[in-house]
Amino acid sequence: MKINVVTNILDANNRIANENRAFFDEKKVFVINLMSSPGAGKTSLVEKTIIALRQRLRIGVIEGDIQDSYDAERIAQLDIPVVQINTGGACHLDGNMIKETFPSFDFDNLDLLITENVGNLVCPAEFKIGENAKIMILSTPEGADKPAKYPLMFAESSVLLINKMDLAPYVDFDLEKARHDALAINPKLEIFEISCKAQTGLDKWLDWLTQAIETFRKTAGKG
């Protein structure tokens, strides 16, 4: 019975997520679902991405947290349309939560929607929201064992950003193990080593993102 309940929940969410995706495609908006554990650097990455690309792309942001609006306030300082979703205890965003934000955005004047999911290495990977790509951040202080412990997150992601590389020498992070284990789970996974604080390695991430958006725009007919 429990399995049936979980299946029904996921099926219902997938239907809404597919509706969201159809809407985003119609509006020619590229959507990323940014996931990580708490404190891995999601909001810092969002800030760096906005600063680098806002002259070329019209960007909106959805911030997901259990409580508080601190991250949304940070993003709002960049003069970017942002909506805060407080889940009230839920450990992830879902398709319906994303759909509820639609009236807050002018999607005809957006190219990229960044959704920062709730900090969690389990549930966000299970719930689609209508995204074009799932992006995961693993920070070096978390350790290299996370791919083995939380494989679904790595299996579902298109890109793995290994953040806080400036701290790697001090936290005994085994980069080769993290890369090996992640690629064993998902051989197509793109892996970029970055530091948002030191601002290193971000060019490769930004190149990947802009290329993905360009490919999407060509397919969607938005020149």
Per-position pLDDT tens, the chain of length 223: 444 544 677 889 999 999 999 999 999 999 999 999 999 999 999 999 999 999 999 999 999 998 888 899 999 999 999 999 998 888 999 999 999 999 999 999 999 999 999 999 999 999 999 999 999 999 999 999 999 999 999 999 999 999 999 999 999 999 999 999 999 999 999 999 999 999 999 999 999 999 999 999 988 755 4
Instruction: Please give the residue range of the domain that contains residue 128.
Output: 2-220
Instruction: Using the structure block, give the residue that is written with the tokens 């996974």.
Output: 189
pTM more than 0.75: yes
* The two three-digit tokens of residue 147, written as one number: 């791919």
Tell me the C-alpha distance between 38 and 121, whole Å: 9
Provide the domain count of the chain: 1
Any idea what the CATH number is for the domain that residue 157 is in? 3.40.50.300
**CA 204 to chain centroid:** 16
Tell me the C-alpha distance between 28 and 197, whole Å: 32
Per-residue 3-state assignment (H helix, E strand, C coil) for 108-157: HHCCEEEEECCCCCCHHHCCCCCCCEEEEEEEHHHCCCHHHHCHHHHHHC
**CA 3 to chain centroid:** 27
